[in-house]
């Protein structure tokens, strides 16, 4: 028997019982080792190089699970998709007895040390992997945030919030439907910051009879409430009526939320997220790049700055927004956005499906605005936030690279600084 066959390794696994399917780990993993189906998030043992980047961003700790297994019997992605609970640890007899029975599997670690891996896998990874550029640290001047006050990691498993508002923020009468939903926590503590998200637990069970898992939604209001001084927050929820392939579906949580009436109560967990937070120091610039409901955290940050400015407490630092949608009618908050003063925020809208007009995406607008974006990129007080559909992420990071290089700014050191200093945040789903 080959030495590699008798090696026992510690395999990286995700606990399906407490994972809230928030996608943070998948968005963080620099080698795309994490994937999901409609049931579970899983780690591909053939790709994971044990870099540990995913461990601290996970809001529930479900990512931090390890099992000793014979290397040749590492759990495959297909096996993990079928799990409702993590498998028990193997006994030493099972470890010994299992050797040599299963197909060859490569990655995992032994005693903290990488033993199989991944140079080949890393070399295979797509030529431009945008995920690797995202920061996992907040800006140095971010306010302290609370996470996991309610949920699987907490003593309090959830909290009930009351719906105090539910209005449509895209044009009525079209197939797309996005709602601005206000949730009030009454006298219960639920402190949040702009850029954080919450989990909504839809009532009922899925097709297998299991309780629905929570879905995550970005908070769209500032830290002092949707209405200043109130213990409430808002969400921007798009009703999912077709899947990513365009097939008709009825998304469980998004339809539940969009149909809520004022006075209804919802089960909430969270807050989640400790890095996609805004800077608070004077002269800090914020560049926001979003599509669709990715506008939620941008609305929260913009509104917080607007409130500070109005009260005379913050009078410096630029705001630049790149916001993409298929049409103006589909763009959430299109009306209110137009009324923000131009000396407060530099707004760039990109529409990709306006009849008779060329398709324009946020990355096109970024390239067009190179003369104004480049000085911001060069400024160490600039913080960049990207939120929206997964498909936008690569194009946006490539556009940042192009803007930098066209302006004589070397991309590699800039990208390293943006990541290390918590200045480029990617949240796509």
Ligand X SMILES: Cc1cc2nc3c(=O)[nH]c(=O)nc-3n(C[C@H](O)[C@H](O)[C@H](O)COP(=O)(O)OP(=O)(O)OC[C@H]3O[C@@H](n4cnc5c(N)ncnc54)[C@H](O)[C@@H]3O)c2cc1C
Q: Does the annotation mark 412 as catalytic?
A: no
Q: Which does 138 bind (CB under 5 to 8 A by kind): ligand X, ligand SF4, none?
A: none
CA separation for the pair 273, 316 (Å, rounded): 26
How are beta strands 424-428 and 382-388 bridged, if at all? parallel
Q: How far is the CB of 181 from ligand SF4 (least distance, A)?
A: 22
DSSP type of residue 387: E
Q: Which does 51 bind (CB under 5 to 8 A by kind): ligand SF4, ligand X, none?
A: ligand SF4
Binding to ligand SF4, residues 15-44 (CB under 6 A): 19-25, 28-29, 31, 33-34, 41, 43
CA separation for the pair 7, 2 (Å, rounded): 9
CA separation for the pair 288, 143 (Å, rounded): 19
DSSP 328-363: GGGSTTHHHHHTS-TTT-EEEEEES--TTS----HH
Nearest Cα neighbor of 13 from 56, 45, 49 is 45
Total residues at the site for ligand X (CB under 6 A)? Answer: 23
Q: Does the annotation mark 427 as catalytic?
A: yes
Dig out the tokens for 204 from the structure.
């009922």
DSSP type of residue 5: G
Catalytic residue among 158, 218, 275, 284: 218
Query: Residue 64, interface with ligand SF4 (CB under 6 A)?
Result: no
What is the distance, to the nearest Å, from the Cα of residue 289 to the centroid of all Cα atoms in its chain? 14
Binding to ligand X, residues 286-325 (CB under 6 A): 293, 296
Q: How far is the CB of 117 from ligand SF4 (least distance, A)?
A: 9
Nearest Cα neighbor of 226 from 261, 287, 185 is 185
Q: Does the annotation mark 218 as catalytic?
A: yes
Cβ atoms within 10 Å, residue 410: 9
Q: Spell out, one character per residue from 242 to 281, where the chain touches ligand X: x when CB under 6 A holds, - when not.
A: -xx----x-xxxxx--------------------------
Cβ atoms within 10 Å, residue 217: 26
Query: Residue 49, interface with ligand SF4 (CB under 6 A)?
Result: yes
By the criterion CB under 6 A, which residues form the site for ligand SF4?
Answer: 12, 14, 19-25, 28-29, 31, 33-34, 41, 43, 48-54, 58-60, 62-63
By the criterion CB under 6 A, which residues form the site for ligand X?
Answer: 22-23, 197, 215-218, 236-238, 240, 243-244, 249, 251-255, 293, 296, 427, 429
Catalytic site positions: 217-218, 387, 427, 429
């Amino acid at each position: 028997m080959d030495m590699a066959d008798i090696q026992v390794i510690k395999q990286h696994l995700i606990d399906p019982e407490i994972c809230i399917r928030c996608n943070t780990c998948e968005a963080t993993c620099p080698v795309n080792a994490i994937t999901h189906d409609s049931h579970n998030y899983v780690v591909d043992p053939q790709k994971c190089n044990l870099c540990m980047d995913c461990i601290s961003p996970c809001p529930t700790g479900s990512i931090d699970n390890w099992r000793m297994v014979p290397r040749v019997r590492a759990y495959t992605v297909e096996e993990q998709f079928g799990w409702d609970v993590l498998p028990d640890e193997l006994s030493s007899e099972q470890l010994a007895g299992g050797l040599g029975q299963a197909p060859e599997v490569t990655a995992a670690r032994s005693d903290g040390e990488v033993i199989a891996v991944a140079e080949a896998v890393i070399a295979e990874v797509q030529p431009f992997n945008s995920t690797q550029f995202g920061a996992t640290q907040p800006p140095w001047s971010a306010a302290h945030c609370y996470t996991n006050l309610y949920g699987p990691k907490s003593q309090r498993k959830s909290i009930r919030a009351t719906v105090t508002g539910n209005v449509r923020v895209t044009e009525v009468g079209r197939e797309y439907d996005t709602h601005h939903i206000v949730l009030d926590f009454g006298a219960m503590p639920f402190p949040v910051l702009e850029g954080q998200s919450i989990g909504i637990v839809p009532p009922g069970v899925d097709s297998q009879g299991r309780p629905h898992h929570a879905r995550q939604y970005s908070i769209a209001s500032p830290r002092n409430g949707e209405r200043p001084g109130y213990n409430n927050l808002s969400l921007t929820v798009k009703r999912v009526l077709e899947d990513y392939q365009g097939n008709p579906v009825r998304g469980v949580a998004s339809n539940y939320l969009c149909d809520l009436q004022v006075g209804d109560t919802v089960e909430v967990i969270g807050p989640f997220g400790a890095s996609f937070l805004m800077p608070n120091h004077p002269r800090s610039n914020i560049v926001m790049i979003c599509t669709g409901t990715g506008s939620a955290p941008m609305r929260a940050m913009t509104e917080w700055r607007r409130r500070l400015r109005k009260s005379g407490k913050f009078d410096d630092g630029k705001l630049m927004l790149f916001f993409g949608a298929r049409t103006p009618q589909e763009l959430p908050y299109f009306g209110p956005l137009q009324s923000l003063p131009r000396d407060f925020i530099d707004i760039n809208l990109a529409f990709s499906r306006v009849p008779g007009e060329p398709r324009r995406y946020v990355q096109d607008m970024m390239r067009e605005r190179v003369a104004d974006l480049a000085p911001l990129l060069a400024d160490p007080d600039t913080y960049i936030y990207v939120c929206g559909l997964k498909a936008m992420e690569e194009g946006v990071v490539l556009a940042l690279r192009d803007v930098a290089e066209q302006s004589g700014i070397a991309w590699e050191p800039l990208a390293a600084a943006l990541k290390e200093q918590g200045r480029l945040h990617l949240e796509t789903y």
